[in-house]
Structure 1
Amino acid sequence: MSKKISCVVLAGGQSKRMGTDKAFLAYKDKTFLQTIVEKLSKKCDEIILSVNKDPRIYIDHLKPHKVKVVKDLHPYEGPLNAILSVSEHIKNPYVFIATCDTPLLNENLIDIYMSIIDEFDAVIPQVHGKFQPLNTLYTKKSLLKVKNLYPEIKSLNQWIKNLKRVLVVNEEVIQNFDPDLLTYKSVNTPEDYERLIKYGL
């Protein structure tokens, strides 16, 4: 891949519905976070974690992968705050923003989104009629715009509405590479986790 890309993993949520930190849930002998970082490392030459705990926990947990860990500026204020917090630490012009509760992420979608982003600010998948602002691709320039909007705007979808050039990708395109759309199935509750372990969602 000729274009340089960074990957950001949002791992700073409170996991209220799960009752425990989703990043460290076990799945096939690894944690969700280990699984996702391993996948992203195949596609990205920089991985940044957005967190609200001691960074050393994540650095030790993810060895031998090299990751940059950034604490949120405003803890537990949501994903847009996390994007604001990491935006100036990103070195590459393109950024894939992932979430730590989707261990079945298909990393090959990164190649597809990179091939079509062209002059757009973002590639936004639409799955089951809903826009998916995470596990997708943005330009670094679009992320830097957050600081001019936050905290008046705290919603990812509101931020995306402020971007001038957004390419919407329908689910049929995604299904060519991820037939069951598992990249966009989050594990948010104990019931979701049990279903993942038993049936793979």
Structure 2
Amino acid sequence: MPETWGEEVTGVILVGGKSRRMGRDKAFLPLSGRPLVEGVLELFRSQFSRVLLVGDREERFADYDLPVLADRFPGSSLGGLYTGLSKADTPYVFVASCDLAYPNLEVLRGLCALRDGFDAVVPRTAHGFEPLFALYAKSCLSPIKEQLERGEFCAYAYYPQLKVRYLTGDELSRLDPAGTAFVNLNTPEEYARIAR
């Protein structure tokens, strides 16, 4: 485990999604012989000494022998991030959704290595921000809570209030040359393409 961040960062996996578009539980879709969530979990366990699952689904994840935290603001990924960040014992969390097809070790390491002096370290691709494979400091709690209490659930609307380091362009492509780090699965059609 990397000494530089293994003890400073808690891995937070968001498992509370309803999978409405998929029609079945995305976390447990088989890919390469195992449920999707286990790819993220294996990566996190290799890098962080603490891992939390966030979502109102304790029974579904009982076999993983990890804390499963109920969302304090149910119904959004931002609420899940807030829950994980508020419950973590470390100064930072690294958050990921449970439905990433190819969680990328090099991108994770690159984001964690840039954390000093920033409230958040977030990939930004040609498609926009990737707030659900990113690193956040405890200093994010207050602006996230204020936004949630206003009933706004955008996963990155509070970024202008923070000192954010974006990982972009060449920096990102060097770590993810295949461009697959942020492939997540939302529909049966997307899953069928990846499964093939």
TM above 0.5: yes
Instruction: Output the CA distance in 1 between the equivalents of 2:176 and 2:157.
Output: 27
**Using the alignment, how far apart are the partners of 1:19 and 1:47 within structure 2?**
27
Choose the corresponding residue for 1:33, options 32, 37, 45: 37
Is residue 2:146 matched to residue 1:154? no
1:20 equivalent to 2:30? Answer no
| Alignment check: 8 A CA contact 1:97 1:134 kept | yes
Q: C-alpha displacement at 1:180, in angstroms?
A: 1.9
Range moving further from structure 2, 178-187 or 66-75: 66-75
* Structure 2 residue ranges without an equivalent (≥5): none
Offset of residue 119 of structure 1: 0.3
2:107 is aligned to: 109
Give the match for residue 182 of structure 1: 180
- Which shifted more, 18-27 or 107-116? 107-116
Give the aligned partner of residue 73 of structure 1: 72
**Normalized against structure 1, the TM-score is what?**
0.88
**C-alpha separation in 2, matches of 1:94 and 1:40:** 14
- Structure 1: runs of 5+ lacking an equivalent: none
Equivalent position of 1:141 in the other structure: 139
Q: Does the 8 Å CA contact 2:100/2:183 hold for their aligned counterparts? A: yes
AA partner of residue 10 (structure 2): S
Matched, 1:52 2:56: yes
8 Å Cα contact 1:46/1:67 also seen in 2: no
SS of residue matched to 1:39: helix
Shift of 1:181: 2.1
CA distances 1:21-50 after superposition (whole Å, capped 9, x unpaired): 100101112101112101111111111111
- In the alignment, residue 160 of structure 2 is paired with which amino acid? K
Whole-angstrom CA distance in 2 between matches of 1:47 and 1:15: 22
User: Could you list the per-position Cα deviations for residues 110-147 of structure 1 after superposition, in whole angstroms to 9, with x for gaps in the alignment?
Assistant: 22112222201111211114111110111122135422
Residues 79, 156 of structure 1: 8 Å contact kept: yes
CA RMSD of aligned residues (A): 1.6
Q: Secondary structure at the match of 2:22?
A: coil
Q: Is the Cα contact below 8 Å between 1:126 and 1:169 reproduced in 2?
A: yes
For the 8 Å contact 1:88–1:144, the answer to whether it is kept is no
Return the alpha-carbon distance in structure 1 between the equivalents of residues 125 and 116 of structure 2: 22
Paired with 1:169 and 1:74, the residues of 2 have a C-alpha distance of: 28
